[in-house]
Amino acid sequence: MTLATFLKGKSVFLTGHTGFKGSWLCHVLKTFGAEVTGFSLPAAGKCHFLSCETETIVNHIVGDINSYTDLETAMVAADPDIVIHMAAQPLVRLSYERPLETMQTNIMGTANVLAAALKCDKKPVFACVTSDKCYENFEVETPYKETDRIGGHDPYSASKGAAELVAASFAKSFYMKSNQSILTLRGGNVVGGGDWSKDRIMTDIVSALSTDTSPIIRNPAAIRPWQHVLDVLQGYLLAIEQVAGLPSCCFEQFNIGPEPQNEASVGALAVMACSAWGGDICPEICATEAELHEAKLLRLDVSKAAEILNWRPKYGLSATISKTIEWYRAESSGSSMSEFTEQQIVEYFYGEKISV
């Protein structure tokens, strides 16, 4: 079954739809004919959601997953076939500044969404998006498998590890008993057009390049598994389709990350992005001792997703960067970004360009 066949007419309840990945997912789901109800905090500042007028293609509900009553009311009214939980405090460095807020949202907020989905009549498939940083990271060469130990050094990573444990507890205690499938999805470092979040590498690079200045790169030697937003979203949706098609309920976990050749240091990524932008600007390396702990090496084993979902990233590292830079270039030139986003989605999934 193709994703288009699976998703057409499906009702999807999406938390965090005003975020970077959430907004892109709204447009992907629209392309495939799904009906989306989004529940999230208001979009703030410059972002994909506002640039692409995403509010016009979804049932847009402003709400906080930490407010259980509001969340349950909205979800039960939507009566979804699928619940995708993306709402989170997503930034490592901000988690040091706001550890309690990070823990509250990423742990108790996740518990709230899990509990609310149990109240829905259709017993929706539940997909909980966490992070590759949910693993106890020993910074070794061996990639992490879904069966490896959960952990986390910084507050963000710990909260994502805890969210995995909360999901597992709900799966074993409640979801299996209600014959309701659940899965957790662990992605790598996602890049793509429209991410202006603070302390994101591509945000820093594009912000500098758009003003003809050199991007300043901290922690240039850190190796990350980079992937385009459409690659990771395709993996998420294929995992949901797989679980939804099983004859009985299940609890699954999938790493949805890039292949080894997509790994690169932060410094190398910056050089490639500057080259894709064009001109003579080069990144400025500021390799100072980090005040806050950030992992320098993190790899995912995606063999389970390749074997079970028949999923592999479509874009290599070069295409990932060029497609991202193309989006920002179009935005800076005043193009309609909702149409440009649609063009990139159609090209990715159907292999053809459309006129904008």
- How far apart are the C-alpha atoms of 39 and 14, rounded to whole Å? 6
Domains of the chain, residue spans: 10-346
Q: What is the mean pLDDT of residues 147-154?
A: 90
Q: Residue 71 in contact with residue 112, Cβ under 8 Å?
A: yes
Q: In this prediction, what percent of the chain has a pLDDT beyond 90?
A: 72
* pLDDT one-digit tens code per residue, 267-287: 899 999 999 998 888 888 886
Per-residue confidence (pLDDT) for residue 354, from 0 to 100: 38
Q: Residue 64 in contact with residue 269, Cβ under 8 Å?
A: no
* pLDDT one-digit tens code per residue, 218-236: 778 877 778 999 999 999 9
Q: Which of 22-26, 142-146, 148-152 has the highest mean pLDDT?
A: 22-26
Pick the CATH number of 10-346 from 3.40.50.200, 3.40.50.720, 1.10.1660.10, 3.40.50.300: 3.40.50.720
At residue 291, does pLDDT exceed 80? no
* pLDDT one-digit tens code per residue, 302-331: 999 999 999 999 999 999 999 999 999 999
Closest to 83 in 3D by CA, of 155, 161, 182, 168: 182
- How far apart are the C-alpha atoms of 86 and 89, rounded to whole Å? 10
At residue 353, does pLDDT exceed 70? no
Q: In this prediction, what percent of the chain has a pLDDT beyond 70?
A: 96
Indicate the average pLDDT of the chain.
91
Tokens representing 269 are: 């990524």
CA 76 to chain centre: 24
Q: What is the mean pLDDT of residues 104-109?
A: 97
* pLDDT one-digit tens code per residue, 32-82: 999 999 999 999 889 999 999 999 999 999 999 999 999 999 999 999 999
